């Protein structure tokens, strides 16, 4: 799809928002703010578009972005849309916002939301871009948001898919899934991110979309470790395929749908995250393969690799629900320094032989390798 291609259509019944506030000026937050600003410009050819504001905590950095139109830390060679606004003042960002996009790390989401809760308009749709489980509670990001804003589940949406920010910021085409229990919320969020290079699809399967987005980070750590140990494509493909089976089992145990994991938010995101050198979790896995500890990897990384924090929480969630996840178990053991990366191979492949798909029953009656 070229930059001149038509933007995907959105439901005509969804009203045009007045303002989109993106909280978090990291790589994904900045890229999504660009998407929203570009989508508004597309809309404005037929009717007035919406204001897009990007909020970040660092006042000097936001002032620099407002002056230059460039996020020097993450995208020094990219000029952002002229009509994108920047602020370090949460009140300014949130005032009058119809859509509030939460591009905040999973482990700080609750704290940040609580500090801004009184400023969030009561009817705003809340959109999570984070892919992780909260440590201590094991909650998905939509569940964290619902606890901070009780009674507001129908105005919560999540966005997930093969969305590497460094490619999106260059207008390279991709697709994603907008999931919400509310058709209205999913449609509204789709409207603010529908451009010639970013194609949103809607879904009601919030569980499946979130589980796909967060578990793939753990699988990507393992693939990164394999690459760091000079394992070949066979090994990496095996980990990715069995990782998808693990992810599907967990999603289904929590009420997600298997077809979701076969789509953009499952297989699509998994392939992109496990295969690309732009992936933070893939990079973190390669550092683990060098023998660095979790703390050393975190210190070396310039961006958050959510899989490092999520792996033990994913494993705990799986055990609570009786789901076998040997890859997540192996990665968690490496992170906890219980095993070395040299001991990883027998943990991944030295298990009892079993069928990949069940014999004798109709297709689709069980998750792969269940």
Residues marked as catalytic: 216
As a whole number of angstroms, the distance between CA 302 and CA 246 comes to: 29
For residues 56 and 196, what is the distance between their CA atoms, to the nearest angstrom? 27
- Tokens linked to 13: 């019944």
CA separation (Å) from 143 to 52, 80, 106, 150? 26, 32, 12, 10
Work out the angle between the directed axes of helices 206-228 and 326-335 (0-180°, nearest 10). Answer: 60
Identify each DSSP E strand in 77-196 by its residue range.
Answer: 84-87, 99-102, 125-128, 156-160, 174-179
**What does the radius of gyration of the chain's CA atoms come to, in whole angstroms?**
20
How far is 60 from 354, CA to CA, in rounded Å? 57
d(CA 311, CA 216): 10
| CA nearest neighbour of 175 among 151, 147, 146, 198 | 198
What's the burial of 70, exposed, middle or buried (CB within 10 Å: 0-12/13-18/19+)? middle
Q: Which residues of 173-200 are buried (b: 16+ CB within 10 A; e: fewer)?
A: ebbbbbbbebebbbbbbbbbbbbbbbbb
Which backbone phi and psi does 97 adopt, to 5 degrees? Answer: -75, 130
How many angstroms separate the CA atoms of 30 and 103, rounded? 9
DSSP three-state, residue 179: strand
CA gap 54, 45 in Å, rounded: 23
């Amino acid at each position: 799809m070229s930059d001149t291609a038509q933007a995907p259509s959105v439901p005509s019944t969804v009203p045009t928002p007045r303002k989109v506030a993106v909280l978090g000026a990291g790589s994904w937050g900045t890229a999504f703010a660009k998407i929203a600003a570009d989508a508004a410009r597309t809309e404005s050819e037929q009717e007035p578009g919406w204001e897009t504001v990007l909020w970040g905590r660092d006042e000097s950095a936001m002032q620099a972005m407002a002056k230059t139109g460039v996020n020097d830390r993450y995208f020094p060679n990219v000029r952002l849309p002229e009509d994108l606004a920047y602020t370090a003042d949460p009140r300014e960002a949130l005032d009058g916002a119809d859509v509030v996009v939460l591009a905040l790390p999973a482990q700080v989401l609750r704290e940040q939301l609580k500090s801004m809760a009184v400023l969030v308009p009561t009817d705003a749709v809340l959109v999570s871009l984070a892919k992780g489980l909260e440590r201590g509670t094991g909650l998905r990001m939509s569940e964290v948001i619902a606890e901070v804003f009780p009674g507001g589940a129908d105005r919560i949406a999540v966005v997930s898919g093969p969305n590497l920010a460094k490619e999106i910021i260059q207008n390279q085409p991709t697709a994603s899934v907008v999931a919400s229990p509310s058709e209205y919320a999913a449609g509204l969020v789709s409207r603010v991110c529908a451009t010639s290079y970013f194609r949103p699809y809607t879904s009601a399967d919030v569980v499946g979309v979130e589980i796909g987005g967060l578990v793939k980070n753990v699988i990507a750590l393992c693939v990164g470790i394999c690459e760091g140990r000079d394992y070949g494509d066979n090994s990496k493909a095996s980990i990715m395929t069995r990782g998808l089976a693990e992810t599907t089992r967990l999603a289904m145990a929590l009420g997600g749908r298997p077809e979701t994991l076969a789509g953009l938010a499952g297989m699509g995101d998994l392939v992109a995250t496990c295969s690309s050198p732009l992936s933070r979790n893939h990079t973190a896995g390669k550092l683990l393969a060098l023998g660095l500890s979790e703390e050393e990897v975190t210190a070396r990384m310039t961006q958050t690799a959510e899989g490092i924090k999520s792996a033990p929480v994913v494993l705990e969630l799986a055990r609570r629900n009786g789901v076998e996840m040997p890859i997540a178990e192996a990665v968690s053991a490496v992170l906890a320094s219980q095993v070395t990366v040299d001991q990883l191979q027998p943990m991944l492949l030295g298990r009892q032989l079993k069928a990949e798909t069940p014999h004798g029953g109709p297709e689709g009656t069980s998750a792969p390798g269940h």
